[in-house]
Chain A
Amino acid sequence: MNSSRYRFPFLALAAFLLMTGTSFAEVKPSSTIEISSLIINLGFIALGSLFVYVIVLTITFLFNAYKEAQEHKAHAHVEETEPSALNPELNRRSFLSLLGLAWVAFTAATLGALSGVVRFLFPNVTFEPPLKFAAGAPSSYSLGVDERYKEGHRVWIVRETTGFYALSTICTHLGCTPNWLQAEQKFKCPCHGSGYYITGVNFEGPAPRPLERFQITMTDDGLIQIDESIKFQQELGQWGLPGSYLEYKG
């Protein structure tokens, strides 16, 4: 008779989950931050559902006890073996399922917190120079390798008679910065001796492939523009693609 009341905690849990679950139906994460916050929110939902279950269970238990006390006055004796408010259905089995729910909620909350910590380690802002920048007028460049943006932007701007190209200063061996040797007309990396021609093609040392080229274009007002987020690799056959070379006969 009294056991039917103990459906209420489960009903309350189901109602809570239904209400909160419907709000997640159309969630479509479009970035890693949103994925993290989704996991954290689910963790909170799990925790909240645990609270709801425990609170409604407590209320049901107290209500049963009250009702039982009322019936106690009417009846002379009571059998302890029957389930009553003093010996409710909260036996070992049902308690363990409560514990299981608690563990699930704890695990979910912990995973949510951990995902937040991991996301914390990836900064949203870096103080590095912009990848896309204007590199001055073509007339300000003489023939050969220009090193004005070597330190600030990690790029050489090379002018030939037919046009310009932008070489990355990152050695393809292990990432050091080669030096341009004007007298020998080659790039030479001081770390392990990789050597490149003025075109960027590797010819000596441990470098496995040529230097990368960045996209080089002309802006509307006639300035050279370099975009380091777009790179062209000769070994992939990309040095003929548009953007890898800027035709200019000055």
Chain B
Amino acid sequence: MLDKLKKMIDEKFAQAPSPEAVKKAIAEGQIWKSIFRHGYPDTPRNRVMAVLSNLFLHLHPVKARHSGVKMSYTWCMGGLSFFLFLNLTVTGILLMFYYRPTAEYAYYDIVALREHVPLGIMREIHRWGAHAMVIAVWLHMFRVFMTGSYKPPREFNWVIGVVLLVITLLLSFTGYLLPWDQLAMWAITVGTNMARATPFMGYEGPGASMIQIGGVHLVHGGSDIHFALLGGHFVSEATLIRFYVLHCVVVPIVAATLMAIHFWRVRKDGGISGPL
């Protein structure tokens, strides 16, 4: 009985097409060709095309040097920063499903994210990830400095990196207000008070009284950069929604754009961890 079954299975297997034939049928079919535009066999050309003809991958080089994966050289801090950024983006979007940026609900929603939501550590992951990203970008900056990777032709990329550092700190600053507790409110009060003393743009800064058109003072308590940042004269509900938009949309878009340039320049300037 069992032998008969075995014989039947063996016969069926003999009739089946070989794995190579199946692969060929798929990889030379219309669907495959429309999606991938190159063949499947493991030829050098196909390896190159797999990277070059992909929108997401073609920012990166097709080949990387051996030294590029040496952890002892780069500490992988740049990559870690980027990974943490992606992490924060994903956890941030998940938090957005529950958090309402109004004075009435903000604090309560943050508490709810811990008490009422399954896996109630999303808010903690986001916050710890933010701390970790700040540490990672500082370590990355130290590493770049220590290995002299700011020297020509990489000076411009260093400058972009510094701007990215400021962007990271701005993300931390704008996000700090969102829990809407005493710590958040006063930290942002103190931080934005510095904006009042900016030259020309802050009404308590030097040069503010010089900016006028025909007697109309353009920079005063209700029209300087401090007012625009807060949406009022002090931290209020208007500030909360402004910082929410800055934190979730504006600064991430700027960060993503600068990161794209930053990664592109690494490649263009001679690749990661290459000799100077």
Contact = CB atoms under 8 A, between A and B. Distances in A.
Interface residues of A, number: 16
A191 B189 CA distance: 12
Interface in B26-40: none
Interface of B: 186, 189-190, 193, 213-214, 216, 218, 223, 227-228, 231-234, 236-238
B33 to A, nearest CB: 42
A175 interface: yes
Interface string A167-178: 000000011100
Given A29-B213, A127-B238, A175 B233 contact: no
Given A29-B216, A123-B238, A174-B193, 11 more contacts: A31-B216, A35-B213, A121-B228, A126-B232, A127-B232, A127-B236, A128-B236, A174-B189, A174-B190, A176-B186, A191-B190
A29 to B, nearest CB: 6
A32 interface: yes
A172 to B, nearest CB: 11
Given A28-B214, A29-B216, A127-B236, A122 B227 contact: yes
Contacts of B237: 127
Contact of A128 (B193, B223, B228, B233): B233
A91 interface: no
B223 A32 contact: yes
A29 B238 CA distance: 28
23 contacts: A28-B214, A29-B213, A29-B216, A30-B214, A32-B218, A35-B213, A122-B223, A122-B227, A123-B231, A123-B238, A126-B231, A126-B233, A127-B232, A127-B236, A128-B232, A174-B189, A175-B189, A175-B190, A175-B193, A176-B186, A176-B189, A176-B190, A191-B190
A28 B216 CA distance: 11
Nearest to A229: B221
